Chain A
Amino acid sequence: MTFFLAVVRRTLSTLVTLFGVSIIIFVVLRLLPGNAVTAAMGVSEGLLTKGQVAALDRYYGVGQPVIQQYWSWLHSLLQGNLGISLASREPVSTLIGTALPVTLELALFAMVIGIGIGVGFGVWSALHPGRWQDDIGQGISVIGLAIPTFILGTVLVVFLSTKFHYFPSSLPFVGFFTNPWLNFQQIIFPALVLSLGIGAAILRTTRAAVLEVYNLNFARTALGKGVSRRAFIWRHLFLNALTAVTTMSGIQLGYLLGGTVIIEQIFILPGMGRLLITSIANRDFPVVQSVVLIFAAGFVIVNMLVDLFYTVIDPRTRPR
């Protein structure tokens, strides 16, 4: 029951945050540019059908006061009307429907690899502080933190294309369900590049958290009473370091989502990031607005789940 209450409270505060996010996006994209939206609409109006213009008018609340414009936009959003792309004249929801799965797959792969690298090498280097295993971990974390994704990605593409004649642009992107193996080949390299940054951050956190637990009394007691090494590492050390690792993973998701924009551009993946960049170049505001909002919503919701996940993994945070 109390858990249920915690869920409700957290959901409500997430909704408030999302509401605020929508206001920020509205202010940034609609009020700053001196009404570039209406200007952009005026240019492309001739190309749209009457129904589309009406839908966009409703979406933007053209000719209404600012507050009304915002409500009009929010209302459309809640009804699932994301507007119509000024460049391609397709509903934004259609564009996002095809782009979102690509980005989700990329982010999921990168997250899994990143957590794998981070936790694996983090625990490994924490168990051997100051030895060569630790140096490997430190090396990975410095590389991951200092080399930007776009450099790593560009270098990898150049390397693959000269040594293995792999060109990201040679084949159009294939969905997972059409051809899983080809899809895997297309997604694995970008996911690897993307994972290194978050992997490095998770590695640092894991190492620090495991080292901290290692020095606590209960850990020494466990070792003293002869708990097996494997059980000690995973049940005593890792389980207690898990909270820190989870928090870090949640935070890193934001960087990861930002990173997808760059990686998709380098590896020519037709995901949300590429959609965003194309739309920025075309000043296609309905698409930009929706993409940023969806990224933010994803980030907020995952972090809500992370918070709730604490109560599952850590009994101390359970509401009494």
Chain B
Amino acid sequence: MSIDTIGATLPSPLESAGGEVVLRRGGWLRAIWRSRNGRIGLITVILVLLGGVCGLAGWTPYGADVQNPSTVLKGVSWAHVMGTDQFGRDVFSGALQGLGVSLEIAFLSVAIAGVIGTLGGIAAGFLGKWTSATIMRATDMMFAIPTVLFALAIVTALGPSVLDSSIAIGVGWIPIYVRVVRSPVLALRESDFVRAGRVLGYSRSRLLFHHILPNVTGVIAVQTSLALAWAILAEASLSFLGLGPPPPTQSLGEMVSNSSSLASVAWWTLAGPSLVIVIAVIGFNFLGDGLRDASDPRTRTR
């Protein structure tokens, strides 16, 4: 057995507190399933993703923007589970399509934030003092602008489209990834197995990608789940303010905003899209909780 594999099997401070290695390869799902929040989150997220895919692919009960004068403002029924709006459009179909767009933007923006932020965090934790100081200063500065405002400013500059919204939402979340990733990397850098690797003359990139990165995946996974919840919220807020992707794309926030004047006579036009947003946000938050419990036994809810 080479030193390399010993290093990989040694429990890192992140993975175990009580001396047990929690995450074995492939044990992820089981570990999430063990916590109550994880179970709820996992099921909800799967349903939300399915709904989003159906919405994007157009597999909705009715056409999402098909107007029908004979079904104007119909209440909740088996034919229209979330009722219809003032143009006779099926709210559920619209909400599914909106969910699809929301998820598209959320995944894109989290990908942007996750890749840049993780690289920044690793660099800040692993590289020299000056790089670290520079990155952390820059993060502080970005952190100073409240994320929603940051997104608003970028949308002003870029204009609304799926990609531009994603950039706007993603950029604000970069500093959070940097902070979350940096501290475990700092701890890992001084851990015995990384030191051993350094003594053995492993290259920096080998230490980084084979020894440190695998040990921060748990932290990144938790953060990604929470970031997705936040991104869905942020996207909905932007489109609520009328700064989402332009029509004919319906988005959830826009549906909520349009329904505000209707809701006193047709509550379902407000309830439908709101419910979808809340379920999606709760789902990703709970999944994040479950992932945290799975990767850190200290926080496990018994």
Decide if A161 is an interface residue (CB 8 Å cutoff): yes
Q: What's the minimum C-beta distance from A12 to chain B, rounded to whole angstroms?
A: 13
Residue of B nearest to A259 (CB): B148
Check A280–B146 contact: CB distance below 8 A: no
Residue of A nearest to B155 (CB): A280
* Residues 15-46 of chain A, each 1 if its beta carbon lies under 8 Å from chain B, else 0: 01110110111001100110010000000000
Check B156–A280 contact: CB distance below 8 A: yes
Return chain A residues, CB-CB under 8 Å to B278. Answer: 146-148, 151
Whole-angstrom CA separation of A281 from B156 in the bound complex: 8
Whole-angstrom CA separation of A148 from B145 in the bound complex: 20
Quick check: which of A52-60, A65-73, A152-160, A236-244 contacts chain B, the rest being far away?
A: A152-160
Decide if B138 is an interface residue (CB 8 Å cutoff): yes
Return chain B residues, CB-CB under 8 Å to A154. Answer: 256-257, 259-260, 263, 270, 274
The verdict on A261 contacting B148 (CB below 8 Å), with A147-B278, A162-B264 known, is yes
Check B145–A146 contact: CB distance below 8 A: no
Check A158–B260 contact: CB distance below 8 A: yes
Whole-angstrom CA separation of A216 from B131 in the bound complex: 39
Question: How would you classify the secondary structure of chain B's contact residues: helix, strand, loop or mixed?
Answer: helix
Decide if A48 is an interface residue (CB 8 Å cutoff): no
User: Which residue among A28, A162, A283 has the maximum number of chain B CB atoms within 10 Å of its CB?
Assistant: A28
Quick check: which of B67-75, B119-127, B235-243 contacts chain A, the rest being far away?
A: B235-243
Contact of B157 among A32, A162, A276, A296 (CB under 8 A): A32
Decide if B144 is an interface residue (CB 8 Å cutoff): yes
Return chain A residues, CB-CB under 8 Å to B282. Answer: 142, 146
The verdict on A261 contacting B270 (CB below 8 Å), with A21-B141, A146-B278 known, is no
Check B144–A299 contact: CB distance below 8 A: yes
Decide if A255 is an interface residue (CB 8 Å cutoff): yes
Q: What's the minimum C-beta distance from B245 to chain A, rounded to whole angstroms?
A: 15
Check B157–A25 contact: CB distance below 8 A: no
Contact of A295 among B145, B156, B233 (CB under 8 A): B145
Residue of B nearest to A143 (CB): B278
Contact of B147 among A146, A147, A148, A258 (CB under 8 A): A258
Whole-angstrom CA separation of A36 from B157 in the bound complex: 8
**Residues 246 to 283 of chain B near chain A (Cβ within 8 Å):** 253, 256-257, 259-260, 263-264, 267, 270, 274, 277-278, 281-282
**Residues 254 to 272 of chain A near chain B (Cβ within 8 Å):** 254-255, 257-259, 261-262, 265-266
Decide if B135 is an interface residue (CB 8 Å cutoff): no
Return chain A residues, CB-CB under 8 Å to B142. Answer: 24
Q: What's the minimum C-beta distance from A292 to chain B, rounded to whole angstroms?
A: 5
Return chain B residues, CB-CB under 8 Å to A162. Answer: 264
Decide if A173 is an interface residue (CB 8 Å cutoff): no
Check A150–B237 contact: CB distance below 8 A: yes
Return chain B residues, CB-CB under 8 Å to A300. Answer: 144
Whole-angstrom CA separation of A70 from B8 in the bound complex: 50
- 9 A-B pairs within 8 Å (CB atoms) are namely A20-B140, A20-B144, A24-B141, A24-B145, A29-B156, A33-B157, A154-B256, A255-B148, A295-B146
* Further 20 A-B residue pairs, CB within 8 A, beyond A149-B237, A154-B274, A262-B148: A17-B141, A20-B137, A24-B145, A28-B154, A29-B156, A32-B157, A146-B282, A150-B256, A151-B277, A154-B257, A254-B146, A254-B147, A255-B148, A262-B240, A265-B241, A266-B260, A277-B242, A292-B150, A295-B146, A296-B144
Residues of B within 8 A of A (CB): 137-138, 140-142, 144-150, 152-159, 233, 236-237, 240-243, 253, 256-257, 259-260, 263-264, 267, 270, 274, 277-278, 281-282, 285
Closest 7 pairs (CB-CB, A-B):
A258-B148, A20-B141, A254-B146, A158-B263, A32-B157, A258-B146, A162-B264
